[in-house]
Homo-oligomer: A and B are copies of this chain.
């Protein structure tokens, strides 16, 4: 029996404007004037591809995400941007966030099928239920849909999308010119879905795409979010501050898979990490401090108010946090609320210190150090069962991604932890995930 190949980690580059640090746009190494320049994102995606990363990822919200007075917000819609990147790259996966709360499954299933064809099988969908009342107000609602109801809708939404992707068999197009038969209509079928939230007849008007289904990613870590991830997600983005928290999360999520008939090798857990890289540890810490010094406190306070569901304006920055609501009363991102509240309590942080701690990763772990130190950290989490890979969130761009690709990736490769060439063509290939069989396959 041949030895099984060594387990290797997976890396996703999470791209965001001038970088993930909320003061990145003020740093002299960034180019915030380029956040609506497609060439800027082409360069970033090509850098990630040069580093043989599994994928790039664009998060999304359906409203401005904070106060644009103090941060470089506003930019491309992710599906159109990724479609443009599809023709400018060859191998790297392309993952976009799309909300199940403010879209229709027919349109979303179709857009991802189209992106999958455009990219030759490199599309991924990060499924979100959207967390903010600002988004609801752009879609005719005064208040946001309740947390549990959002997840109910999301489950049915994804079920419909899956049926639509499978509404064409892989071999539906027969192309018999002489007989005048283009498709075998026994292999292109309506889905006739009639559920609580959606009625969709189908079939999709896009043939089955190279991956069958796009890779399904998910980032909610609340109780509802974990259950949803266990049912549907193939890649799970998560914010974890400590190794033990990350281990507990991974263990919990994996324990939920069996009830959906799924196994651990069908899911990749990817904690976020914001790597602040220096040629010495002191240099990395100085860069981190430089970014902290550029933070605009009003901006950080407003972001923190949103995360904590509590208006903090006017409170003294050097004082402690006020009394916080119960997690059950949070209708936005519940797991992020809990993480931030716990972080402040555990380390006894003032508001100013908490804003500094959240500046780089909005709750994701920030690690400052040399390329070797960053690699050590990734290796530790990976070997300790806390992660199958990482969602890399460079604090500033493009430099932070360049340094990761040019300095950290070679260390991981030298240790045998990361690929030295792409061996597959599709995003599923990169993540080591099987191609779904489709209805015909399922019934055969």
Contacts and interface: CB of A to CB of B under 8 A. Distances in A.
Interface in A158-201: 168, 173, 175, 177, 180-185, 188, 198-201
Contacts of A86: 38, 84
Contact of A38 (B87, B104, B207): B87
Contacts of A302: none
Interface stretch (A105-113, A283-291, A306-314, A405-413): A105-113
A263 interface: no
B83 A134 contact: no
A160 B275 CA distance: 41
A180 B70 contact: yes
A62 interface: yes
A104 B106 contact: no
Interface string A86-106: 111000000000000011101
Contacts of A118: 38, 76, 80-81, 84
Contacts of A415: none
Q: How many copies does the complex hold?
A: 2
Interface string A308-349: 000000000000000000000000000000000000000000
Interface stretch (A135-143, A378-386, A423-431): A135-143
A interface, how many residues as a size bin?
Answer: 35 or more
**For A28, A76, A103, A200, which residue has the most chain B Cβ atoms within 10 angstroms?**
A76
A183 B68 contact: yes
Nearest to A210: B36
A211 to B, nearest CB: 13
A438 to B, nearest CB: 15
Nearest to A110: B77
Contact of A198 (B25, B79, B140, B204): B140
Interface string A118-150: 100000000000000010011111000000000
Contact of A107 (B83, B102, B198, B299): B102
A67 B111 contact: no
Contacts of A73: 182-183, 205
Contacts of A201: 63, 134, 137-138
Contacts of A140: 104, 198-200
A79 B76 contact: no
A432 interface: no
A299 B183 CA distance: 13
Interface in A217-275: none
A61 interface: yes
A437 interface: no
A133 to B, nearest CB: 10
Nearest to A62: B106
B180 A26 contact: yes
Nearest to A98: B107
Contacts of A137: 199-201
Contacts of A416: none
A433 interface: no
Contacts of A296: 180
Contact of A183 (B69, B87, B184): B69
Nearest to A141: B199
Contacts of A188: 64, 68, 74
A301 interface: no
A17 to B, nearest CB: 10
Given A69-B184, A75-B207, A141-B199, 4 more contacts: A25-B175, A72-B182, A74-B183, A79-B80
Q: Which 6 A-B pairs have the closest CB atoms?
A: A83-B83, A77-B114, A137-B201, A80-B83, A180-B296, A106-B138
5 contacts: A32-B182, A62-B205, A65-B205, A74-B188, A137-B201
